[in-house]
């Protein structure tokens, strides 16, 4: 999922969610929608450094787990990959 931070940077995040048992299709869609909404909200509120610190410390995973566990019993939610897609253009100092 792609997240746009407060400072305009685009970050591609890959999230992995493990449940205790097999969820049905409706529950899988609800889990994906909850993760998407939560990440979009957090991404718009944070700048790039805060977002990366949240990934490293596990704060984002913890917040996502709290959102998802109300939908279906969840073992863990992790950010397994992150990639900065677009950074602001360099400033011309001529």
What's the rounded Cα separation, in Å, for the pair 69 and 92?
A: 48
Provide mean pLDDT across the span 76-83. Answer: 95
Tens-digit pLDDT profile for residues 6-58: 988 999 999 999 999 999 999 999 999 999 999 999 989 999 999 999 999 99
Q: What is the CA radius of gyration of the chain?
A: 15
Q: What is the Cα–Cα distance from 60 to 6, expressed in whole angstroms?
A: 16
pLDDT value for 35? 96
Alpha helices by DSSP H, the chain:
25-45, 48-57, 59-68
Instruction: List domains and CATH numbers for the chain.
Output: 2-86 (3.30.479.30)
């Amino acid at each position: 999922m792609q997240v746009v931070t407060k400072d305009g940077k685009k970050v591609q995040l890959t999230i992995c969610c493990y449940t205790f048992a097999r969820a049905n299709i409706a529950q899988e869609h609800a889990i994906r929608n909850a993760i998407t909404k939560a990440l979009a909200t957090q991404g718009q509120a944070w700048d790039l450094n805060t977002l990366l610190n949240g990934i490293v410390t596990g704060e984002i995973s913890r917040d996502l787990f709290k959102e998802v566990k109300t939908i279906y019993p969840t073992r863990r939610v992790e950010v397994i990959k992150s990639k900065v897609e677009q950074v602001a253009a360099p400033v011309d100092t001529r």
